[in-house]
A and B are shown apart, each in its own frame.
Chain A
Amino acid sequence: MDYPDDSALLTRLLAGEQKAFRELVGTYQSAMRAVAFAIVGSRNADEVVQDAWLAVVRNLDSFQGRSSLKTWLLTITANTAKTRLKHNRREVLLDDLPGPHGSVGDERFAADGHWLLAPHAWHQDTPEALLTEGELRECLEKTLASLSELQGSVLLLRERQGLELDEICNLLQVSLSNVRVLLHRARLKVFATLEHFEETGQC
């Protein structure tokens, strides 16, 4: 098998070990949900994820290890979602819902393109220190919830699950340039939330 990390887990999964399944769902459930969200929307996403898990268990014996477990799981999820979505794709929604703390917009720059309102130094400079503030966590959740389904999914798959951009394109069937746009706008909103919180101490 080409993916040694997976092979030990796979052996335990094949044996039906509950702890192995707990590891599997703990690691991949939110990525699978993100894929489903992006393709079928929030209303049907949970059902698609359920169906995908059942398909995973059904097909475990035939998993060959030619891809990573992660890629296999996410591909099954994407396929399950696309089957659900009989009328093929919705239009890719690039329209941008406003984030609770805005973005980094034109108003931050002078006519010549220099910063007008440059970023200030933040009080904390590690993720751990920033996240000790419970209120910031809630605040970020709000910002993430404000993103469109597709945009939120792209951000989650990239930043939390570490997928490559081309993997995201293939799974969600969105062009690379669209993924780049979605990701950039989402990141600026997250940045704006962190910046707002660092400057005001509140959400």
Chain B
Amino acid sequence: MLSCKELVAHSSDYLDSQLNLRMRLAVRTHLAMCRNCRRFIRQMRLSQLVLRRLPQGQNAELDALAQRLAELRRQSS
């Protein structure tokens, strides 16, 4: 059976659906029996969502860029 350490090592590939069928089944079987690894995978997924929602700044810079590009487009057409 897959150990917890091995499960962690394959966790990203599991989340990205990069595992072959046999490994995927091994991971699922392990998760069905191991609370710690279930929690780990849940927290990895949560980390992914946190990154997705992390705000990114630099609005003024983007306003200026958009203005420049729009002008350029209008000049060229």
Interface size on B, residues (CB 8 A): 42
Residue B22 is within 8 A (CB to CB) of chain A in the complex: no
Interface class of chain A by DSSP: helix
Chain B residue with the shortest CB-CB distance to A17: B70
How far is A52 from B11 in the complex, measured between Cα atoms in Å? 36
Verify A183–B43 contact, CB threshold 8 A: no
A115-135 interface mask toward B, CB cutoff 8 Å, 1 = contact, 0 = none? Answer: 100110110011110110000
Judge whether B48 and A180 touch: CB under 8 Å.
no
A-B contact pairs, 22 of them (CB 8 A): A16-B70, A18-B66, A25-B66, A26-B66, A29-B58, A56-B69, A113-B3, A113-B5, A118-B36, A119-B39, A121-B39, A127-B50, A127-B52, A137-B54, A165-B16, A180-B12, A180-B13, A180-B16, A183-B12, A187-B11, A187-B12, A191-B44
Q: Are B40 and A119 in contact (CB under 8 A)?
A: yes
List the count of A-B residue pairs having beta carbons below 8 Å apart: 131
Q: Does A72 contact B (CB under 8 A)?
A: no
Docked CA distance A10–B47 (Å) = 34
Across the interface, do A29 and B62 meet the contact criterion of CB distance under 8 Å? yes
A-B residue pairs, 6 tightest by C-beta: A113-B3, A16-B74, A184-B12, A22-B66, A118-B36, A18-B70
Binding site for A on B (CB under 8 A): 3-6, 8-9, 11-13, 16, 18, 36-37, 39-40, 43-44, 46-56, 58, 62-63, 65-67, 69-74, 76-77
In the bound complex, do residue A21 and residue B43 qualify as a contact, i.e. CB atoms below 8 Å apart?
no
* A127/B62 in contact, CB under 8 A: no
CB-defined contacts of A18 to chain B, threshold 8 Å: 66-67, 70
What is the interface of chain A, defined by CB distance below 8 A to chain B? 13-14, 16-22, 24-26, 29-30, 53-54, 56-58, 60-61, 104, 106, 108-109, 112-115, 118-119, 121-122, 125-128, 130-131, 137, 140-141, 155, 158-160, 165, 180, 183-184, 187, 190-191, 194-195
A160 pairs with B50, CB closer than 8 A: no
CB < 8 Å neighbour of A119 from B43, B50, B70: B43
Specify the main secondary structure of chain B where it touches its partner: helix
Complex CA gap A191/B8 in Å reads: 12
Contact A191 B43 (CB under 8 A): yes
Docked pose: A114 CA to B3 CA in angstroms: 6
- Pick the contact of B46 from A22, A109, A127, A140 — CB < 8 Å? A127
Q: Are B54 and A21 in contact (CB under 8 A)?
A: no
Q: A25-B66, A54-B72, A159-B51 are in contact. Are A115 and B36 (CB under 8 A)?
A: yes
For the complex, give the distance between the alpha carbons of A200 and B66 in Å: 42
